[in-house]
Amino acid sequence: MAAAGGAGGEGTADAASGGGPSGNGEPERAGNGGRALRLHPLTFVVGAARELIALLAAGATGLMVGGLSTAFYFTLVGLGFGLLFHVATWVTFTYALHEDRIELRRSLIGRSVKSIPRDRIRGVDISASLPHRALGLAVVHIDAGADGGEGELNAVSRHEAERLRRVLLSRRARPAGHAGAADRADRTEHADRADHAASASPPRRVLARMLPRWYVYAPLSGAYLLTPFALAGSLLGTLYNLSDDLGLITQERLADLGHDVVGLPSAVVIALAVLFLLAMPVMSVIVFTLFNWDFRVYARDGSIVAERGLLTRRSVSLERRRIRGVELSDNPFERAAGVLRLGALVTGLGDAAHRGRLFPAAPRPVAETLAGRVLGLVPGPLVPHPRAARGRRVVRAVAPPVALAAIAFLAGQPWVAYAGLVAAACAVPLGLDRYRQLGHATDDVRLTVRSGSLRRRQVVVEHRAIVGWRVRRTLFQRRLGLATLVVAVGAGDGGYPAIDLAEEDAVAFAAAITPAWVAPFLDE
């Protein structure tokens, strides 16, 4: 096997030259000629930086157990084992790019070969943490959907990562059974053109970019508002368990701490509570900035690419031909501020919640403009649903707290019953808002459905992505002449409902888009 040094410089140059012949006598024009390449040698440095915290923990443990000398030996042993592991991993891992697949080979303990067909690859993502960026390296993550599996190269040079993404997303394997000489010549010529196109840096067109002033939208989202304290709670729990195992925490010390806290002046307790409340939005903005710093969306080489991150820079590529729709979502706070979040509905996409995100928070005009550039114009205006749906939305919002109040009253808990009645009164505006948010529309190319209040979702789907319809009518819906029409799509969640339409509107909506599918189920 011929190793290509850092897998980025020499390996790429050799790949561009066409490589050697394959086992069946045909030239393999597949980026690196099907030859085995290794990861970048500086992977050792990245691994050492990643395990630095673990080494410090080992040294601290040795310091508590036996003093400075023991801490030194603990750290030295940990460093030796870590270095040996990374060297063995680098020596025993190779990857080879063929015309129809990419192969990842490991032989550390047991030999394994993972082959990912190139026509199954849904996306090639590139990420780089601070150590990776300092050394000019990147991690390549290959997503081939549920059938093809996943693969990861950690780490290659930045140039090699970009080359792999261009080659894997721009070329597809030819169907089997074309073994003629003319076809082989055409395939070789096509491969030459593809390799030349992959080696050149394709132009990119910026579709949207996050402005720094939009980071203040972070507190409007509950996820970013609570994330810092969830991380802090996890860290404190880990420290508590570690201290408990080492015997540093006792009941007496916890009791003393509790007495000290209770004995604080009231003004200090109030000040701490105010600081905690003020820290929540501030910390949410900091976390939002770390995750979404310089968020950019651009089109390049037939893909939509989203780049984001401050400490760890991540680049996610979505094939444009696999994008079947978009989702615009918000909550009441974001709605009041005119903010939307945008995601893509992609066929066969793994980890769609993160990889399908196109914009985390942006003013409504910006998000709608980006949706139009990625998919096309959003159909509108939305058609409101019948008045019977309003009563149904209100009843569904009020029923749970009323039921809780009734059970509490029968159980002899009057205060819980009163609280349930107050919650029921507050749920009436929620039900009315749920009704106001219902709507649907369609044009010649796309359809859209919208529902929800606390989490409002408007989904825009291309007609060609629809794989079926489902009309659902419960007992109460039938009494009101309503129906829920579920749009089955081979992307995203798999189905999106248009809730509480009139029965005839549900049938007419489906028949207007796919009349041949609906006609056999209609009465003359």
Q: What tokens appear for 17 in the block?
A: 């030259």
Q: 342 or 226: which carries more pLDDT confidence?
A: 342
Is the preceding omega at residue 363 within 30 degrees of 0, hence cis? Answer: no
**pLDDT number for residue 193:** 47
Domain final residue, candidates 292, 314, 343: 292
The reply to whether 314 falls in a domain is yes
Same domain as 256, residue 312 = no
Q: Which of 427, 425, 445, 444 is nearest to 435 (CA)?
A: 427
Residues 402 and 515 in one domain: yes
Instruction: Mark out the alpha helices in 293-376 (DSSP H runs).
Output: 332-337, 352-355, 364-374
- pLDDT surpasses 50 at 199: no
Tell me whether residue 436 is in a domain. Answer: yes
Total-model pTM: 0.75
The whole-angstrom separation of Cα 249 and Cα 272 is 24
Q: Do both 246 and 348 map to the same domain?
A: no
Q: Are residues 226 and 236 in the same domain?
A: yes
Same-domain status, 172 and 191? yes
Closest by CA position to 55, among listed 28, 74, 34: 74
Is residue 343 a contact partner of residue 491, using CB atoms and an 8 Å limit?
A: no
State how far the Cα of 382 lies from the Cα of 438, in Å rounded to an integer.
9
Q: Do 42 and 176 reside in the same domain of the chain?
A: yes
State both tokens at 15: 């790949």
pLDDT (tens digit per residue) in 293-327: 999 999 988 889 999 999 889 999 888 888 999 99
**Rounded to whole angstroms, how far apart are CA atoms 49 and 130?**
10
Whether 255 and 195 share a structural domain: no
- Neighbour tally for 456: CB within 10 Å: 19
Q: Say yes or no: 114 and 97 in one domain.
A: yes
pLDDT digits (tens, 9 = 90+) for 126-183: 999 888 888 899 999 988 765 656 889 988 999 999 999 888 887 544 444 444 444 4
Q: What is the pLDDT of residues 252-308, one digit of tens each?
A: 666 665 556 666 677 776 787 788 777 888 888 988 999 999 999 999 888 899 999
Same domain, 64 and 156: yes
Alpha carbons 494 and 164: distance in angstroms, whole number = 30
Considering the domain architecture, whether residues 496 and 450 belong to the same structural domain is answered as: yes
Question: At which residue do the structure tokens 């799509």 appear?
Answer: 489
Cβ proximity of 292 and 227 under 8 Å: no
Report d(CA 49, CA 43) in Å as an integer. 10
Unique residue bearing structure tokens 């203040």: 216
Mark whether 395 and 494 lie in a shared domain. yes
Share above pLDDT 70 across residues of the chain, in percent, rounded to a whole number: 71
Identify whether residues 310 and 392 lie together within a single domain.
no
> Which alpha helices (H) appear in 303-355, and where do they start and end?
332-337, 352-355
> Per the domain annotation, does 313 fall within a domain?
yes
For residue 441, what are the β-bridge partners? 448
Pairing of strands 137-143, 123-128: antiparallel
The answer to the question of residue 382 being in a domain is no
The tokens for 383 are 């058609």
How much is the pLDDT for 25?
Answer: 34
What the block records as the tokens of 238 is: 């880990």
Domain that holds residue 424: 388-521
How far lies 385's CA from each of 294, 394, 452, in Å?
Answer: 40, 14, 13
Radius of gyration from C-alpha coordinates of the chain:
29
Answer yes or no: is 496 within a domain. yes
Number of domains in the chain: 4
Which of 334, 351, 374 is the C-terminal boundary of a domain?
374
Pairing of the two strands 93-97 and 204-209: unpaired
Beta bridge partners of 383: 440
Greater confidence (359 vs 491) lies with: 359
Lowest-confidence pick of 11-25, 340-354, 376-390:
11-25
